[in-house]
A and B are shown apart, each in its own frame.
Chain A
């Protein structure tokens, strides 16, 4: 029994990060129909900038806030200099641009930072909490709480504020949104900024546990994208559920079946789900995009 609890803790922690990356995918996808494959690089930037500002002598909280702000600027620059300039092109072209942007960001990070792995100190120490025979790191709780808080804030914003309504309207029908006077381009820019911020926060929350380097973004984007597909592309609750499910599938797959096939097990589950429900768990069946 305690081992099942241990697998669950492990899966939840990893899954929470996948969920945040998937949420970033979702926000941008809803606002612009674009799958932003540079989402993983936001996670990398959040972690790496914090590490290097901290090494340069800034206190950790200030370094963290600065890292989030810089990543948001990078997100906005990505929108202004790559996505917005190509706004006449189709979604596929823009997706390819984001892949290029992700390679570019990785290359720049390799030059500005370095090619080594880095760690951050855990916020509340690294002494594990023993719970029912399982051991959980305090930082895992920080990741879970942070993820829950971000998700709650995003949902509140979309539900309760005019800005959120504008995002929702843009997601539903861009032309109609523009006709009622919503500045659609600014809303899309905002979605890039928000996604960058979420990615950066995920990065700095998780770095004390998983370590970081210039190239962690690739895997994050892959797993986050898989989670978003599983939950249903474009559905925020789907992104959360998809992320957590993927994390749990990996840890239980590794623990109960075989660590050799842990990724295969997770992707098999996704394939099977999409086979039965092509629109994902929470996705709406859409015909016009096919």
Chain B
């Protein structure tokens, strides 16, 4: 059975390559196919849904302007519902049946890593929209990503802490996947910034009261700031309990809660909380001199007009992935996967919603700390920390 499957797959692949090589000139006016396996429904739908809407919006806009290289673009979207096995199956279908020339997708780290081998085997470029650094480290020839990493969020926070003279800190993290991963990243880079973690606590993703943990942090002598890597409602409760206990040292939240909903849930307790976030969230507050001002205000306006929903950074990741690919195709003057891959790797100075991207053979993300802005919550709204 498995041998047969392998045969069929290889045959299909060979046929695919044959068709591509033999028929390429004849198909010059054919569609350019781009694939996207996204978690549109299921637990990660908050990622996949805006990503899908963004890709569809951008493809539609580009086709209305005549497409790319004079050819229409066809976007093929599959919904993996957050399931890595399903993602892997869809990746194979994209490559073998749909014969896409590139992929912008992979909403979660899990689904992305499940799909990577398929794209490496087929030698088709894959721009992932997921967070973890493992996707691009070690560098994989055919794999790129657009979102910033948790490590960068930790670094941005530590940088700001140091500026305010806080080097001895307390940490309270969620035990969910995001909280745990970011906690590990933060512990990893703390030394580099001379930050000492004096006391550490954790809480379960569904916990409703964190005062015991925060009481211990409050009573630990010498704590100058507190960081809370976490996701969902946990950080909102931590913030409320933090004010309830009257802890006065600065509280830092992560980019995981960089949404209006966090301010709504935490209420007045959120005043003074700082967190790193993408420029997209504060589009209207950026100074005109900001290089990202134009792209983020344009994308915000387009997206809210098209969908009637507020923008999220996740949709922004898809926007960046699509445009990095589009520009690479324009430079390569073909949708040949190998040539497009080389051009993606040469992306320099692309200004996107997530930051300014400068890729290289050793960096398949191309973002630096300037991708994050430090925000402070004041009067129930974000303000930029200069």
Is A172 interfacial (CB-CB < 8 Å)?
no
Is A259's CB under 8 angstroms from B237's CB? no
Looking at chain B, what size class is its interface with the partner chain? 20 to 34
The complex places the Cα of A140 from the Cα of B261 at a distance, in Å, of 23
Chain B residues numbered 291-335 whose CB sits less than 8 Å from any CB in chain A? none
Partner of B237, one of A116, A118, A211: A211
A211-B265 contact in complex given A7-B215, A255-B215, C-beta closer than 8 Å: yes
Residues of A within 8 A of B204 (CB): 262-263
User: Could you mark each residue 250-261 of chain A with 1 if its beta carbon is under 8 Å from any beta carbon of chain B, else 0?
Assistant: 011011000110
Residues of B within 8 A of A259 (CB): 201-203, 212-213, 216
Smallest Cβ-Cβ distance to A17: which chain B residue: B208
Partner of B216, one of A137, A255, A263: A255
Is B233 interfacial (CB-CB < 8 Å)?
yes
The complex places the Cα of A260 from the Cα of B268 at a distance, in Å, of 29
The complex places the Cα of A186 from the Cα of B198 at a distance, in Å, of 60
Smallest Cβ-Cβ distance to A219: which chain B residue: B206
Is B232's CB under 8 angstroms from A14's CB? no
Is B194 interfacial (CB-CB < 8 Å)?
no
User: Could you mark each residue 192-232 of chain A with 1 if its beta carbon is under 8 Å from any beta carbon of chain B, else 0?
Assistant: 00000000000000100111010010010000000000000
The complex places the Cα of A116 from the Cα of B237 at a distance, in Å, of 15
Is A210's CB under 8 angstroms from B244's CB? no
The complex places the Cα of A206 from the Cα of B206 at a distance, in Å, of 14
30 contacts between A and B (CB under 8 A): A6-B212, A10-B209, A10-B212, A115-B45, A115-B46, A116-B261, A117-B233, A117-B236, A117-B265, A119-B236, A119-B265, A119-B267, A126-B267, A126-B268, A137-B244, A206-B208, A209-B209, A211-B237, A213-B233, A251-B211, A254-B201, A254-B212, A254-B213, A255-B212, A255-B215, A255-B216, A259-B202, A259-B203, A260-B175, A263-B204
> Residues on B close to A: CB < 8 A?
45-46, 175, 201-204, 206, 208-209, 211-213, 215-216, 219, 232-233, 236-237, 240, 243-246, 261, 264-265, 267-269
> Residues on A close to B: CB < 8 A?
3, 6-7, 9-10, 13-14, 115-119, 126, 128, 130, 135, 137, 206, 209-211, 213, 216, 219, 251-252, 254-255, 259-260, 262-263
Q: Other CB < 8 Å A-B pairs besides A6-B212, A251-B211, A262-B204, 18 of them? A: A6-B211, A7-B212, A14-B208, A117-B232, A119-B265, A119-B267, A126-B240, A126-B267, A210-B208, A210-B209, A210-B237, A211-B208, A211-B233, A251-B212, A255-B213, A255-B216, A260-B175, A262-B212
